[in-house]
Structure 1
Amino acid sequence: MSISLLVVGHANTGKTSLIRTLLRQQNFGEISNQAGTTRHVESVAIKVNNKTLLTLIDTPGFEDSIGLWEARQQAPFDQYPGNRWIAPFCQSHLAEDHFEQEAKILKQLNQCDIILYVIDIRQAPLGKYLDELTLLASASKPIVPILNFSASDSVHLASWRQVLAERHLHAVVRYDSVAFYFEDEKRLYQSLQSLMPDHYDDIETLLISREEAARSRKTFAIDNLANLLIQAASSRKVCDRYPPAPDDATAFEQQIRQLESQFIHSLLTLYEFREEDVMPAAFSVQSGQWQQDIFALDTLKAWGVSTGASAMTGAAIGAGVDVMTGGLSLGAATSLGAILGASWQTGRHYKDTLKSKFTKRHYLCADSATLSLLCLRGLALIAHLDQRGHASQRAFTLNKQDDNDTNKTIINAIKPLWKKARQHPEWATQSLPANHALKAAMTEQLLEIAKNH
């Protein structure tokens, strides 16, 4: 038998949100800022290897707990000790009238193993909440208080802890259903283990499964970012003039945008989120690109990325591309240094890919500014999705500016690897295997960065 967890609390404290985040599903129940959104009881299972380990039961919120407590103390219900008042109350006209929603909760109390009492710690521990705790305690079932919306500091936290301690509820769990932290979920499962020792091994299996899944998601996300950087760095477009025609520059920019767009969608699928969760109107995917365009100077500046002296000028400034020549020997290319000017300074390491200006062929390649931006935005998106609860209703905008010194440290660690990728245009359309030397080195470096930053 699985452990039955009854999720209860006052209206609009985040009960359904808690279940969504525990399930890693956005489609469970209905969420709204209006009180009383959940109007019926709904259960769902958490399984490992097709075995149900936990059954979560969502309930309507308490709407008039003060009135319910007063009714409990009046005849005929005051004559029943302990939990014996619940059945006759649920059969009374009160349960069909004023306390219809509360009765739905009461009917589940005798059938559950543990009560998860969800608290919105942005609210003070008012009398109505205390009455709810007293009513629930009469069911003689273990109660685990869940402190929701705990990612931000609350002036009411100490008061809630005192109130709960006075009621001998010491196994309190902080669990924010919006800003997800796996360590909080781990403590929840550990609390269940202490309350249900006969199910200890099953819960441990669930906990190990969740930890492995989290590690796997992070590793796969970083692998996708490594693919993005390698493919973007090795991408080229042949042009027959310098500076390139606007159509050539536009086509190449779109090619890089499409790579990032594919990366975004792969992460959203991996973490089971929707496009609108991380891309609001000010930062949405339109025609395959993010509105905060990676080729806009303002975007580069917002992330503390410098285009450098060799970036293209004129209409293409901020386009994030280097105009490179290809095909000459290093000696012949050196003699063209004065002709090529600034672009030669960024292109010296291209050795076997330099081509004489006189052949009328040139390459467009992603420059360091563009690759830096792709790297930083990719890491930021992974960090966000890794800690985003599936109940979050606020769209994430990936346009904040991180610490510039930290960004420089990150880029300096990755840049030598994408410089090597630039010399292999055949990688632009490939997904290198995990054991490929460069791919493995970049993945390892990105994992270390994600761990430390």
Structure 2
Amino acid sequence: MTDVIPPLDLAVVGHTNTGKTSLLRTLLRDELFGEVADQPGTTRHVESAQLLSTDGKPMLILRDTPGLEDAMGVLDYLDQLIASQERPDGPERIQRLLDSPEAAGRFEQECRVLTTVLTADAALYVIDARDPVLPKHRDELTLLAACGHPILPVLNFTRSPLANIAAWRDALARLGLHATVDFDTVAPALDGESQMLDRLALMLDQHAPALMALRTDLGEQRLKRLQDATRLIAELLMDAAALRLPSAQDPTDMATVTMVMRKRTRDREQDCVHALLKRYRFSKATFPHHALPLEGERWGMDLFSPQALRSFGIQVSKGLATGAMAGATLDMLTGGLSLGAATLLGAAIGGVWQGANQWGKRLMGRLAGNVEMTVDDPVLHLLGLRQLALVRALECRGHAAMRPIEQDLMAQITAADIAPADEAVTDPDTPQEAAPEAATLHRLPPDVQAILDEARTHPSWSTIGEAPGPDPHRDLLIGQMAHALFLAL
């Protein structure tokens, strides 16, 4: 019978208001764990949670503890408790404190922390790297070290310009703590968890196999999240590309159909955003409630706005820059019906057309003077770029982040993520043929564009269209598109 390996038990400790609960929220990917506030003493009791593997097996027990506030007073009291001729070791000194009357009185909060550390396998000492190194921090570490368990200092808020990482590392080294880890709970590095587990494995030899197994498991979980995310984006792009709405060649009807097309596309994008948030275990409440999913330099503009396209490096032609139907393509008789169009037209004219299938209905509508409205290519690319940018932001966002996500999102988009915008944006008065094709200025993979082109000829592939229907080939192409988007990330 295989022995069951118990999960590693970690106490998360530190001075008041350094981000202990924030660390647990980010490690657990749980925005609701504990209480986070910009004031001291928010956590008053020990709270525990488990970090689970993919198969639901507990791998880590994480214990959130109250903040240490009077380590100096505790050390002074310990000196009074221990007679000069006695030489007890660290854990025994701490036990003397826990057995004293002050354990339930003046030092009740500190004793809760020390009791947790005594029963844990190790402690994560969370440091706000923006704070100066003070004697109180040295007293806290001296007190914690007396428990006789390994301590791994975790430097929090390391991305802040106020962080003084070098000073903290020097101070920790003077106390014999040479192994540290940087882990910004608001914007953790992609390998932040792995670095923490590597350090713990070095300090806890007997737990190294379990920690490395957890490291592998967390990597697999991240890979699965990315695969699921790109699948969601691919489904959105498929729905938008295949969307076709019939319209009479009447300006009023065309304007009405255009508004319907835009609303369906916007709503579909909103659904995708919410699905991505759910997959990354962020709630809708992390967004302000706007008509559009996100606000900000790029997201604040309407999906069909020429300015929104330009902000993502998408150059627009005269039609998009000036037309009232920006982002909509008016598909005439041959547009989108190139596949077999001549055969269908000949059959209809010759009177041998049989049935009223999808292609026949569309062709007969065209012969009756109708047109179809579709989403323009630049808008499709903007859809993809916005979702990829959101995934990048969610990948680098901690669950303790307090700011609205749109601010963080824009910080994650770099010049390497998108094609550079043309400094000479197309002038509305410039002839349309002088503008280069928008598709050449995007960073969506070429394979994606080829699939979107094929999707345009299959209106039934759009779940937001007039007559959606299942098709195994659609599912196959969505998988291929998702893989191309995954590689682009």
Matched residue type, 2:249: R
Question: 1:353·1:423 contact (CA, 8 Å) conserved in 2?
Answer: no
Cα distance per residue 1:327-372 (max 9 Å; x no partner): 6886999xxxxxxxxxxxxxxxxxx988897632111100022112
Matched residue type, 2:304: F
Q: Which runs of 5+ in 1 are unaligned?
A: 334-351
2:148 is paired with a residue whose SS is coil
Matched residue type, 2:483: E
- How far apart are 1:218 and its partner, in Å? 0.2
Among 367, 385, 403, the residue aligned to 1:376: 385
Number of residue-to-residue matches in the alignment: 427
- How far apart are 1:58 and its partner, in Å? 0.8
Among 68, 87, 90, the residue aligned to 2:98: 90
2:31 is paired with a residue whose SS is coil
Give the aligned partner of residue 17 of structure 2. Answer: 12
Greater shift, 139-148 or 433-442, is seen at 433-442
Distance between the aligned counterparts of 2:290 and 2:263, measured in 1?
19
Question: 1:324·1:354 contact (CA, 8 Å) conserved in 2?
Answer: no
Question: 2:133·2:171 contact (CA, 8 Å) conserved in 1?
Answer: yes
- How far apart are 1:299 and its partner, in Å? 2.5
1:238 is paired with a residue whose SS is strand
Residues 159 and 433 of structure 1: CA distance in aligned 2, closer, same or farther (over 3 Å): farther
Residues 282 and 71 of structure 1: CA distance in aligned 2, closer, same or farther (over 3 Å): farther
Give the aligned partner of residue 461 of structure 2. Answer: 427
Alignment of 1:27-426 (within 5 A): 27-48=32-53, 49-76=55-82, 80-152=88-160, 155-243=163-251, 244-277=253-286, 279-281=287-289, 285=293, 292-311=301-320, 316-318=324-326, 320-326=327-333, 359-397=368-406, 398=409, 402-403=414-415, 405=419, 408-411=441-444, 413=446, 414-426=448-460
Residues 183 and 312 of structure 1: CA distance in aligned 2, closer, same or farther (over 3 Å): closer
Question: 2:243·2:456 contact (CA, 8 Å) conserved in 1?
Answer: yes
Cα distance per residue 1:110-142 (max 9 Å; x no partner): 211101101111112111111111111111111
Distance between the aligned counterparts of 1:393 and 1:46, measured in 2?
22
Give the aligned partner of residue 336 of structure 1. Answer: none
Greater shift, 373-382 or 122-131, is seen at 122-131
Cα distance per residue 1:7-36 (max 9 Å; x no partner): 100111111111111112222111111111
Distance between the aligned counterparts of 1:256 and 1:309, measured in 2?
22
Matched, 1:438 2:477: yes
Q: Share of identical aligned residues, percent?
A: 34
Residues 366 and 183 of structure 1: CA distance in aligned 2, closer, same or farther (over 3 Å): same
- How far apart are 1:310 and its partner, in Å? 3.4
Question: 1:114·1:143 contact (CA, 8 Å) conserved in 2?
Answer: yes
2:52 is paired with a residue whose SS is strand
Distance between the aligned counterparts of 2:370 and 2:474, measured in 1?
35
Cα distance per residue 1:386-429 (max 9 Å; x no partner): 12111111121156775353583414634333222222212112
2:94 is paired with a residue whose SS is helix
Question: 2:131·2:163 contact (CA, 8 Å) conserved in 1?
Answer: no
Distance between the aligned counterparts of 1:281 and 1:149, measured in 2?
28
Distance between the aligned counterparts of 2:129 and 2:363, measured in 1?
63
Matched residue type, 2:122: I
Q: Which runs of 5+ in 2 are unaligned?
A: 1-5, 343-360, 422-440, 464-468
**Structure 2 length-normalised TM:** 0.79
1:378 is paired with a residue whose SS is helix
Greater shift, 98-107 or 413-422, is seen at 413-422
Distance between the aligned counterparts of 2:445 and 2:120, measured in 1?
55
Greater shift, 172-181 or 236-245, is seen at 236-245
Give the aligned partner of residue 341 of structure 1. Answer: none
Consecutive aligned runs of 4 or more in structure 1 exceeding 6 Å deviation: 328-333, 352-358
Residues 448 and 204 of structure 1: CA distance in aligned 2, closer, same or farther (over 3 Å): same
**Structure 1 length-normalised TM:** 0.85
Distance between the aligned counterparts of 2:89 and 2:177, measured in 1?
21
Distance between the aligned counterparts of 1:205 and 1:140, measured in 2?
26
